Structure 1
């Protein structure tokens, strides 16, 4: 079959092909979304952090991923051997009951490590700290931030440069008697602290971007991550995936899954382009063979013939007589609204115009037929003729 493609559609088709090629070969821009997810390989994901913990920081230790709030952790966590609970996100929004459960974990000997640029009021009040932005006019032109540890055993006079991946904030107010300062920036602003709760500790850093893929690969910043985690014992790790910034955007939608993988996304685009071409080339109406529709067969006669053959073969005259009388009584009931009984004979006679003797004779004959075990063909014909007489002569 030949297709006549209008010349006016040529530019449209060429543009579609060009867009497809551009999408196919165009370089992918870097996605700087702050997600901190353990399986994300983008700059601000935590895929390399997980590898670093498994291979070097906590070797041969189980790393459990939790995707529920702290309050929903199993109650057994309070009596199990101590673990390291790690929370890395841009905003750690914990409710009061979550904070209470977190502190109980620390009091039982667990170590809590938090890296967040903002925290809920309940958590800040419990830790006794205040996070303050340091966005001053003299800091606007700065493209890097220097971090260092207070403990000389970790890194004596060693600094770490963070370019792009840092937040202009610091820990401003805190209780000096209960909080230990662990790290500062180049302006002596406090960045990393520790507070003891019972048998455990809560470590807090206000620079979550320092613990991302970008800084694992940048300069010697991986040593800073190792130094911060060196305060934690070599215990099993519980990694949080619930308090991440992209938690509300996560979905199990198949479409979102397809669009987040470049090969599958390209396949979707190719399918849409093929559908457009199909609409263009197959859009016109095509003639089809009109099928021959046979008229519906009247099966009533076949049904009657089948029943007649059945009764003729069985020769059960009594059954036929009983059924005919049953249909006759239904006919009387529906037409005269009265049952065909002996005490109704007089009233039925007045309504139908038939003699009482004829109706009474039919009623007595039906009673005698029901008492018989076998009815002859002559008896059936006689009974049938009486019923037909009433059908024809009733008013």
Structure 2
């Protein structure tokens, strides 16, 4: 009971510490949760995040664009997914990545190239591209860094900025401009007049930020304004149509649709030893759950590993009852001074002891008997022979002196003492 109480107290203390940490991380400077989430670098683009800059809304409505085909969530890098998923090696598939930065490895870029060349479409809604991606598919993106603002103005800038997205396809109709308050992203295509790349949309400066790159039998589609994939943007006015216009460039009846949940949780280039454990640790909730599980396991080992069963008392060493009997019998008969009777009783007990412990026939004491008893009792043959001679003398003698009785008693006592 005491151990369980201690573990319970430890769990409560850890839970309180975690709540304090989580509360301090989510506490905003002005006391308004939504305003604190409208800061650069706070976009998660996660399909489970219902916050303003999460992507819960587009993920839930996406299957409506593909005639009931539900997107499959991917939590590994593109290279690993492409190597282990047979569906990606076919045709007419759609793979969607919404992230802040696309940190690729050479294996990822090569796998993406093979995937698109086979006749599939890769849709990227990202704030910043990757040099490997640009060199693989033959385009260049230019980033315009805005003038740094004081920290005290960051909240005001993020709330007052207007995100604007234009779509260039004339078949979409006249009303193809969508706006909402949020974070303005200024990345755009550096060489829009290449003759190969198709411009699909522009930002508020009329710079191309939504374009399509043909590659083999497939296409790479890049949207440099992932704000149009956030809950905050799509739930304003009729902005859900901005998502519909982007989905129009993907197949209506794809074989498979994949939604990435890997690259949006990367905060730096991948390493060669990058594993699924590192992805797991990048999720705060999963990281804290893992830490809590390890702490509880440590507490369990610390307290429950102690022995809970009562100690078993030591078992006393078995005493030689024959030795005790001989002592008691000697004292009893010695008081009556009947030496002959006492010697006979001692002889009977000795022979009974030999029969029960060494399984020897005591009716005839011979040379073979002496040899066998010496071997089984582990005592010298000379001693056994002298003892048996005294046994025969006691049986034949009518009177026994005190000295003879004392010597006989000492010999028997020594035999019991050294018997094995």
Equivalent-residue separation in structure 1 for 2:143 and 2:93 (angstroms): 32
Runs of 5+ unmatched residues, structure 2: 1-19, 267-278, 293-311, 326-348, 361-372, 390-406
Q: Contact 2:187 / 2:224 at 8 angstroms: preserved in 1?
A: yes
Q: Contact 2:201 / 2:210 at 8 angstroms: preserved in 1?
A: yes
What does the per-residue CA deviation read over 1:207-252, in whole Å, with 9 as the maximum and x for residues that have no partner?
A: 1121111111122221111101110011231000111137552167
Runs of 5+ unmatched residues, structure 1: 1-19, 260-295, 333-339, 343-357, 366-381
What does the per-residue CA deviation read over 1:164-207, in whole Å, with 9 as the maximum and x for residues that have no partner?
A: 14313222246713311111123221101111112211100111
From 32, 54, 60, the counterpart of 1:45: 54
Question: What is the DSSP-based 3-state SS (H/G/I as helix, E as strand, rest coil) of the residue aligned with 2:49?
Answer: coil
Which residue does the alignment assign to 1:238?
A: 258
Give the 5 Å matches for 1:268-283: none
From 361, 371, 391, the counterpart of 2:385: 361
1:160 Cα deviation after fit: 1.4
Q: Contact 1:170 / 1:189 at 8 angstroms: preserved in 2?
A: yes
Give the 5 Å matches for 1:64-79: 64-73=72-81, 74-79=84-89
Equivalent-residue separation in structure 2 for 1:117 and 1:154 (angstroms): 25
Equivalent-residue separation in structure 1 for 2:67 and 2:291 (angstroms): 35
Q: Contact 2:192 / 2:199 at 8 angstroms: preserved in 1?
A: no
Alignment size in residue pairs = 288
Equivalent-residue separation in structure 1 for 2:188 and 2:323 (angstroms): 98
Q: Contact 1:183 / 1:190 at 8 angstroms: preserved in 2?
A: yes
Which residue does the alignment assign to 1:54?
A: 63
From 320, 332, 338, the counterpart of 2:357: 320
Q: Contact 1:44 / 1:212 at 8 angstroms: preserved in 2?
A: yes
Q: Contact 2:161 / 2:183 at 8 angstroms: preserved in 1?
A: no
Question: What is the DSSP-based 3-state SS (H/G/I as helix, E as strand, rest coil) of the residue aligned with 1:244?
Answer: helix
Question: What is the DSSP-based 3-state SS (H/G/I as helix, E as strand, rest coil) of the residue aligned with 2:213?
Answer: strand
Q: 1:386 to 1:111 in 2, by over 3 A?
A: same
Note the aligned Cα RMSD (angstroms). 4.4
What TM-score, normalized by structure 1, do the two folds share? 0.60
1:145 Cα deviation after fit: 3.6
1:108 Cα deviation after fit: 1.4
Equivalent-residue separation in structure 2 for 1:54 and 1:40 (angstroms): 18
Equivalent-residue separation in structure 1 for 2:235 and 2:135 (angstroms): 35
Which residue does the alignment assign to 1:372?
A: none
Question: What is the DSSP-based 3-state SS (H/G/I as helix, E as strand, rest coil) of the residue aligned with 1:117?
Answer: strand
